[in-house]
Amino acid sequence: MKATDLIGCAVYAADGEELGHVHDLRLESDGKPEDGDWRCRLTGLVCGSSAIGHRLGYGTGDMAGPWPLTSLLARWRRRSLTVPWRDVDELQPGRITLRTSRRQLEQMQR
């Protein structure tokens, strides 16, 4: 499985509601590469309207400016939804179906 098999897929909730397209992947790792035996797991799919904020580096809020972008993109970022990998029910080319509904996901993220 490759990153491109996931990025761009349409994501559907269990009840058939479309949640947007996958535009980024969330990875988790224990430790850092320099510690040796580095393992990195794919733990979530970021979906929603746009990837631009994260792309530009405004995802984690370590940007010094410029002013209009910082607040604008942070707000955009908040509108995207991270789907935990364990909620994925079925993987088809171009289409991902979840076992949960949007409500459940939003509750989890809070």
Partner 1 sequence: MTRKAATRKATSLMWANEGLLDRLLIGIDGEDVGMVDNLEFSDATPASGAASGAAEPELTALLCGPLAFGPRLGGRIGTWWTAIGRRLRPDGDPAPNRIPIQLVRRISHRGVELAVPATELPNRRVFDWARSRVVDKIPGSGA
Partner 2 sequence: MKKFLQLGLGVVTAVGGFVDIGNLVTSGITGARFGASLTWAIIIGTIGMTVYAEMAGRVSAVGGRTVFHAVRERLGVRTALVNMIASGLLNLLTLAAELGGVALVLQLVTGVNYLIWVPIVAAVMWLAIWRLPFTWLENLFGVLGLALIVFVVALFKLPTDWHGLWQQTWHPRVPNGEGHPTYFFYAVSLFGACLVPYQVVFFSSGGREEKWSPGSVTEMRMNSLIGFPLGGLLSIAIMFAAVPVLQPRGVDVAHLGQVALPVTQALGVTGLAIALLGFFAATFAAGAECALSTGYLISQYFGWPWGKMHRPAAAPQFHLVCLAAVIAATGFILTTIDPVTVTLVSVVLGAAAVPLTYFPVLIVANDRDYMGDRVNRRLSNTLGTLFLVVMLVTSLATLPLLFITKAGL
Footprint of partner 2 on this chain (CB under 8 A)? 51, 55-57, 62-69
Question: Using CA of residue 50, residue 101, residue 40, residue 91, what is the dihedral sign?
Answer: negative
- Closer Cβ to partner 1, 86 or 110, answer by number: 86
From partner 1, partner 2, none, which one binds at residue 28 (CB under 5 to 8 Å depending on kind)? Answer: partner 1
- Closer Cβ to partner 1, 15 or 90, answer by number: 90
Characterize 71-89 residue by residue with b for buried, 16 or more Cβ atoms within 10 angstroms of its Cβ, and e for exposed. Answer: eebeebbeebbbbeeebbe
Q: Summarize as ranges the residues that interact with partner 1 (CB under 8 A).
A: 1-4, 7-8, 23-34, 38-43, 46, 51, 54-55, 57, 59-60, 62, 84-91
From partner 1, partner 2, none, which one binds at residue 32 (CB under 5 to 8 Å depending on kind)? Answer: partner 1
- Closer Cβ to partner 1, 85 or 102, answer by number: 85
Compute how many other C-beta atoms are within 10 angstroms of the C-beta atom of residue 68.
8
Instruction: Name the residue type at position 17.
Output: E
Bridge partners, residue 82, by sequence: 46
